[in-house]
Amino acid sequence: MSRAAHQSADVVRLRRLGIDTYQEPVIYLSQKSPVCRAEGWSAQSRIAVRAGSSIVATLNVVTDALLAPDECALSDVAWTRLGANEGDLVHLSHAPPVESFSAVRAKAYGRHLDPAAIERIIRDIVAGLYSDIELAAFLTAFTGAHAALDEAVALSRAMVDTGERLYWGHAPIVDKHCVGGLPGNRTSIVVVPIVAACGLTIPKTSSRAITSPAGTADAMETLAPVDLDLAAMRRVVEREGACIAWGGRVRLAPADDIIISVERPLDFYSHTQVVASVLSKKLAAGSTHVVIDVPIGPTAKVRSDDEAGAMEELIHGVSEALGLATRVVRTDGTQPVGHGIGPALEARDALAVLQCAPTAPSDLRQRALLLAGHVLELGGAAALGAGCERARQALDSGAALAKFEAICVAQGGLRTPPRAPFVNTLRATRQGRIGAIDNRRLARIAKLAGAPRAAAAGLEIHVKVGDAVTPEQPLITLHAETPGELDYASRYLQANPDVIALAEG
C-alpha cells in the first residue's frame, strides 16, 4: 500500500528541526498544513501527538516555508519523550481539555481541595498534560499559606504514588535533608559517609539546584557520577550502606522534577511544595527515620522562629500521616556555610572536612557533626546525647573519608572538582567589621556567574559576620567558566556592594 493511500489529513511526517525548548514539548506545524486548517488550530493550541506512544505539545505555527504542509517538527524534549524518528508518520488531534486543572483554578480562588482532586492534578502533571503556564499557576496556587495540612499530605502521597518506590526489607532506613536557603550548606556529603561508617543504611537521593546556586546532586557530581538508575542505586546502597545520587533519574516522586522546571525560573519557594517534595522523596526512597535541617536567618528561606514553627508543624503533620519518624533541627541561617558557593566550590569544602584538612571550614564541620549526631540517635546507632561525639570519632578516625571514597567508587569513580578559568576578587574599600551577609543576593550572584549549570562557577567568600577587615582585604572571589558570565555577575555585585555590609570597626 502506498503511503498516500493510508495518509489522512491528521497524519503528518516528522522532521527534526533541533530546537531545545527546555522542558515544554512544542510542536511546529505549517499554517498551510491541512490538519491545522481542518482543526482550526492556532499558536498556543494543545495538540495530542500519537505514534507508538503519545504526548501533548503546545503548537507553534510556522508562517514561512520552514516546513512543508504535510510535515511537522517537535522540540527536542517532545522528540525524546515520544521516542520519535526522522520521517515517522504521526497522528495529530486536539488534546482533550485537562479536567484536573479546574481544581487548580478552585485552589487559586481560595477553595480547599480533597485528596482525590490533588491526586488527579499530580497524575496529569506526571503524564505531561500540563503546559508551563499551567504548572506556573499550580505552583503559585499552592504557595505560601494557602494550603492546609491535609492538602500537603495529599500532595505528598500523590507524588509518591505516581513514581517508583524502593523497599529495603529492613529498618531503620535513615536520611537527612536541609530545607535549603543557605548557600554552601553541603552537609550531606559529610553526613552520609559518617552515618554509613557507623553502620546505618542511608540511601540519599538529592535534587539538583532549584532556586539555589547548587544542589547536593550538583556538588556531588563534581566528585563522582550521581546519574544512577534505580538498579545502580540499589547496588551501591547494598554494597556500601549509602549513596549520594541524583533523585531525578530514579523517578522517585517524578512530579517534583516536572514542577521544578517552572519553580526554578520563577524562583518560587513554598513551604507546602518543599515539605511535599522532601517527604515524598524520602518515603519513595524507603526511608523510615529522617532528620530535617531548618536554617533560620533574615535572608535564609525560613526567616524567623515563628516561620520555623509553622514549617516544623507542617513537617511533623505530614510525616505522621505518611508514617515517617522525623526530627527537625533548627540551625543558624544568618550567613553562608563554608567558603564556597557553587557546585565545585562547595564540593571542595565538603572534601576538606572529610579529609580533616587544616583549610576545612569549621562551620561546615560543626554543622555536619551536629546533624550526623541527630541521625545516629534517631536511627538507634547512638544513645540520646551521644550522637555528636560518635560522629566526631567516625570523622576524625578517617572512617568517614574511607566510606566516602568507597561510595564514590561504587557510584562510578572519584573525580577532582573542576576549577574556573575566570576569577575576579572584590576587596574591602575601607577598614571595618562585617555587619551582615545577604544570603539571597549572594546566591543570585553565584547564579549570574553560571552556577549550577557551570560546575566550576560560583563564588568564594573570604569573611564571616563579625570579622574585622582592613582596606584591600579580599571579601569575595567570583568564579566563572566564561568571560560573559564573570562580567554579568561582577556588574550585579558592583551595583549591590552591601551584599556584605561593612559596619564601623
Where helices occur in 268-356 by DSSP H, the ranges are 271-284, 305-322, 343-354
134 contributes a contact to a second copy by CB under 8 A: yes
Torsion of Cα atoms, 192 then 195 then 199 then 205, to 10°? -30
Cell of 242: 549509602
Eight-state DSSP code of residue 83: T
40 contributes a contact to a second copy by CB under 8 A: yes
109 contributes a contact to a second copy by CB under 8 A: yes
For a second copy, which residue of 25, 39, 329, 417 counts as binding (CB under 8 A)? 39
Distance CA 368, CA 267 (A): 27
130 contributes a contact to a second copy by CB under 8 A: no
Query: Is 456:344 a contact under the CB 8 Å cutoff?
Result: yes
Torsion of Cα atoms, 287 then 370 then 296 then 153, to 10°? 10
384 contributes a contact to a second copy by CB under 8 A: no
60 contributes a contact to a second copy by CB under 8 A: yes
Give min distance, CB of 434 to a second copy, in A. 25
What mask, x for binding a second copy by CB under 8 A, covers residues 463 to 482? -----------------xxx
Q: Which stretch binds a second copy (CB under 8 A): 101-109, 120-128, 245-253, 406-414?
A: 101-109
User: Of 181 and 379, which CB lies nearer to a second copy in the complex structure?
Assistant: 181
Q: Which stretch binds a second copy (CB under 8 A): 12-20, 149-157, 282-290, 348-356?
A: 12-20
**# residues near a second copy by CB under 8 A:** 69
267 contributes a contact to a second copy by CB under 8 A: yes
Distance CA 192, CA 372 (A): 8
- Residues 234-252 as b/e (b if ≥16 CB within 10 A, e otherwise) read bebbeebbbbbbbbbbbbb
Kindly report the backbone phi and psi dihedral angles of residue 408, in degrees, each rounded to the nearest multiple of 5, phi listed first: -60, -45
DSSP of 340-358? EESHHHHHHHHHHHHTT-T
Q: Which stretch binds a second copy (CB under 8 A): 36-44, 180-188, 213-221, 460-468?
A: 36-44
Query: Is 141:107 a contact under the CB 8 Å cutoff?
Result: yes
What mask, x for binding a second copy by CB under 8 A, covers residues 205 to 244? ----------------------------------------
Residues in contact with a second copy by the rule CB under 8 A: 10, 16-22, 28, 31, 35, 37-40, 42-44, 60-66, 75-76, 94, 97, 101, 105, 108-110, 131-137, 139-141, 143-146, 262, 265-270, 444, 448, 450, 453-454, 457, 480-485, 488, 492
